[in-house]
Structure 1
Amino acid sequence: MIDSLRERTRGQVITAGDEEYDAARRVNNAMHDKRPQVVVRCENVGDVIAAVEYARTNELDLAVRGGGHSVPGFGTVDDGVVIDLRAMRNVRVDPVNRTARAGGGATWGDFNAATHAFGLATTGGIISTTGVGGLTLGGGIGYLARGLGLSCDNLVSADVVTADGKFLIASEKENEDLFWALRGGGGNFGVVTALEFRLAPVATIYGGPMFFELSDATAVLAGFRELIKDAPEQLGGFPAFQIAPPLPFIPEDRHGEPFAAIVGCWAGDLDEGETQISKFREFAPVMAEHVGAMPYPALNSAFDALVPPGLQHYWKANFVSELTDEAIQAHLRHADGLPSVNSTVHIYPINGACHRVTPDGTAFAYRDANFATVIAGMWPDPAQNDANIEWVRSYYDDVAPHSEAGGYINFMAGDDQGRIRENYRQNYDRLAEVKRKYDPGNLFHLNQNIVP
């Protein structure tokens, strides 16, 4: 069987007997040490079609890997097939029409490097090694979301290989139901081999991280909450809780201590940047900061070193309509327990342009939420798994009563499958219909799964 698959593919077909097998099966979250039957390093759409048909014909579980950042480990599987898209990472920019087309394995670092050469960007993530496809299919929250909308709001079209091995283009003009579902519905509907985005003029931004004493966190979060309600949409960023890493702008005797933080991003006229970002300094005294003008890709990759491959990951998430005083206090009950310098809590604002799309305009349903919270537990030592998972869960349990029932699927854990309907609210039944049409046998079930 494997020989026939090799005959049909240009990319490598890797099995347990091959020297590259251990490297090929590895994903970013080291909790997931799985042993696929085969990893197909796809180089083109034909390879993807062959791998999909192989999995379906042989009734094997199928995992799809783009950037490899899936916290629940959906990019790998025991005894099944892994479609690895990371060789398909080319990005082509059309500066006249302000669009860019990215391969299904491209990362935001790949994307930003290509678009920045033309002074253009679209909403990407916070870590540049994140896959463009995975982030976008879940919605796509990032620094530019208040001004440009989510990543999925800027999606123009997608190339998709469906469960029956067919190649389709999804857009506002073709396979519109599929296009609607892809924008927030995750990897439920096929393998997305390319994505085309609208771009906007964003080259140099003004911003960076500011650290505040944890004792001032109430003022920092309340101040951010009020400011961001009607701030200019060019103002992005988020409040956070973070252990101070050993960086030169942080006093050495404070390294390793937990702090409140704001990472700001002003994507408007640079002359206004200092004025806009300085508003954060009014909340409380700043302990340390690294703020100024920088290329947008520099901010998008600034925290990559805190999220290297091989950490243990366990995350939880909720949408938040109002960041109430009670919610802030719930955060503060846990913020000083961050498991490691890699762990963090981010509270992303998703108002502004995100609110101009109707709740049923795309699969991403929470268009009335003002924030998306992630409790991102990340640490290097597997011996600490039980204790650190418990920290994430207890933190989540405390803030959940002050949050919406659903959360952003890109931030969810593998044990959050019971929340799928809540994540999609009024859109769930329509998503299930699209799932039945394009994947009636649920071949694509290694995801936050919408059951056909």
Structure 2
Amino acid sequence: MKMKKEALNLEKLKSKISGNVLTAASEEYDSARTSWLLSVDQWPEVIVVAENTLDIIEAVRFAKANGLKVAVKNTGHGVALPANDNMLIVVGSMRRVYIDPINQTAHIEAGAKWIDVLEKAQMEGMAPLMGSSSDVGAIGYTMGGGMGWLARKYGLSVDNVISYDMVTADGELIHVNKHENNDLFWGLSGCGAAFGVITAMEINLFPVKTVYAGSLMYPREVASEVFVRYREWIAGIEDDWTTTISIENYPPLPIVPEFLQGKSAVVVRGCYAGPVEKGEEIIKSWLDWMEPMANLFGAIPFKDADTISDDPKDPIPATARSLIINELSDDVVSIMLKRAFPQNEPTPLFAAEIHHGGGAMARADKDAVAYSQHDAPFILNMVGLVPTPEMNLAYTEIANGIKNEMEPYSTGNVYMNFLAGDEKWNQTKDAFTPEAFNRLITLKNKYDPENLFCFSLNVPLE
């Protein structure tokens, strides 16, 4: 490592870029290397804090010329492998967003979070297809699929990209859409981080201002009944509804409402993108069926969509695994109740949330993008709080137990945005059909034959 440092002419790189070049000796090094996902710890040889696309071009060219691999960080929600002893490009300063109200589109820079898009789009009466948190990077989220609270009505974020701008492994900026570099457009739409650095994308927006959304929280003791009621409800649900059902285990901490501290609950969440009165009617049928511990449903401007899931904003030591489930049968429910709730001691499994698929997601053109889980009936997301190696080990045992027991009811596939750390890298292949993955390998050999971009996704060279 010392020899590599001595060989790098960082002054030359510094002279070519507007942003900062950092090493372990730099004051800003720690904050730049740290990801939102604190369970991944990385120590890059060089960090380039990019201010614009030209900075990224120069950084990639420098990395290639000096034998460094390249990782990219915006917020760090989706980190897989740590970029140890290599180059990390931080794009969080590149947050410009341009809204086209006539064509109902948005042009988004590499470092933009969904909040940057959401605020400007809502001023024009439109909404992006963001996820459960507006604090997440828009481009990284989209390349992983993008199943948000409008998904059953309008589809996945990845299916609503118009174009990308990408810096290649040769340090060239190219425009990518269905007509220019169309083979790469297919691959970026589901596996983008494996081929280059996405510096911008253009997406469709949708006419959404107000939704009826929130959650119903029921005690652990009635979880089985709630799952059955939820299963019956979604059997005939209209596409205006996007919903989940979740088992949640709350730590005894002040950040948790007092009535939930140290307890477990089953939570039904939903977002209704139709008339508010109709949404109220549906939720009233739930209230008539059984009074919940808490009813957090109400009419909200879509700019407040974060309140539906209330995901944490501050960095946490967390990890996640996912699984595509074919059905919500009695056996599946039984496995969830047995494995996801704590038994004799506290559990590191914070939430096991099942997302209901179908609707516009299933109707998308499946040949247009590499993303391969359009037909997933249900996607399970298992989130663990793992501040210590012991808790990580305990979480792994629980998650593996759920996956093993679910095997008869699962496709064996995964959803990329619900993977973190090693699991994201180890299970990249499981997110795609065999045909799609073979095609991705061909693209990898064409656009990144030296595997410069190897940290986020595991697409091997032939």
**TM-score category, normalised to shorter length:** over 0.9
Q: CA-to-partner distance for each residue in 1:158-181, whole Å, 9 max, x for gaps?
A: 111111111111112211111111
SS at 1:197 equivalent:
strand
Give the one of 228, 237, 241 matched to 2:243. Answer: 237
Give the one of 48, 56, 60 matched to 1:52. Answer: 60
Give the one of 434, 442, 448 matched to 1:433. Answer: 442
Match of 1:353 in 2: 360
Distance (Å, rounded) in 1 between the aligned partners of 2:407 and 2:97: 39
Q: TM-score, normalised by structure 2?
A: 0.90
**Greater mean deviation of Cα atoms: 258-267 or 360-369:** 360-369
Matched, 1:371 2:391: no
Matched, 1:6 2:14: yes
CA gap 1:21/1:222 in 2 versus in 1, 3 angstroms: same
The alignment yields a C-alpha RMSD, in angstroms, of 2.4
Give the one of 323, 327, 331 matched to 1:322. Answer: 327
Q: CA-to-partner distance for each residue in 1:116-149, whole Å, 9 max, x for gaps?
A: 1112112111122111111100111111110110
Does the 8 A contact of 2:79 with 2:456 survive in 1? no
SS at 1:28 equivalent:
coil
SS at 2:195 equivalent:
coil
Does the 8 A contact of 1:35 with 1:79 survive in 2? yes
1:18-417 paired onto structure 2 within 5 Å: 18-72=26-80, 74=81, 76-244=82-250, 252-281=258-287, 284-300=290-306, 303=309, 306-309=312-315, 311-337=316-342, 343-380=350-387, 384-413=391-420, 414-415=422-423, 417=425
- What amino acid does structure 2 have at the position aligned with 1:330? I
SS at 1:429 equivalent:
helix
CA gap 1:28/1:283 in 2 versus in 1, 3 angstroms: farther
| Cα displacement (A) at 1:408 | 0.6
Matched, 1:421 2:429: yes
Gaps of 5+ in 2: 1-8
CA gap 1:219/1:23 in 2 versus in 1, 3 angstroms: same
Matched, 1:450 2:455: no
- What amino acid does structure 2 have at the position aligned with 1:133? I
Q: CA-to-partner distance for each residue in 1:231-278, whole Å, 9 max, x for gaps?
A: 221111211112358999x98444331000011111112232202333
Q: TM-score, normalised by structure 1?
A: 0.92
| Cα displacement (A) at 1:324 | 2.1
SS at 2:190 equivalent:
coil
- What amino acid does structure 2 have at the position aligned with 1:419? Q
Q: CA-to-partner distance for each residue in 1:73-131, whole Å, 9 max, x for gaps?
A: x4x41111111110011111111110011111111122211211112112111122111
| Cα displacement (A) at 1:370 | 1.0
Q: CA-to-partner distance for each residue in 1:329-348, whole Å, 9 max, x for gaps?
A: 11111221296798212111
| Cα displacement (A) at 1:388 | 3.1
- What amino acid does structure 2 have at the position aligned with 1:194? A
| Cα displacement (A) at 1:279 | 4.5
- What amino acid does structure 1 have at the position aligned with 2:329? T
- What amino acid does structure 2 have at the position aligned with 1:208? G
- What amino acid does structure 2 have at the position aligned with 1:432? I
Question: How many percent of aligned residue pairs carry the same amino acid?
Answer: 34
Does the 8 A contact of 1:209 with 1:262 survive in 2? yes
Q: What is the number of residues matched between the two proteins?
A: 448
CA gap 1:97/1:46 in 2 versus in 1, 3 angstroms: same
Distance (Å, rounded) in 2 between the aligned partners of 1:246 and 1:151: 35
Does the 8 A contact of 1:212 with 1:261 survive in 2? yes
Does the 8 A contact of 2:340 with 2:349 survive in 1? no
**Greater mean deviation of Cα atoms: 48-57 or 333-342:** 333-342
SS at 2:120 equivalent:
helix
- What amino acid does structure 1 have at the position aligned with 2:445? R
Distance (Å, rounded) in 2 between the aligned partners of 1:47 and 1:236: 40
| Cα displacement (A) at 1:308 | 2.0
Distance (Å, rounded) in 1 between the aligned partners of 2:69 and 2:399: 29
Distance (Å, rounded) in 1 between the aligned partners of 2:424 and 2:407: 13
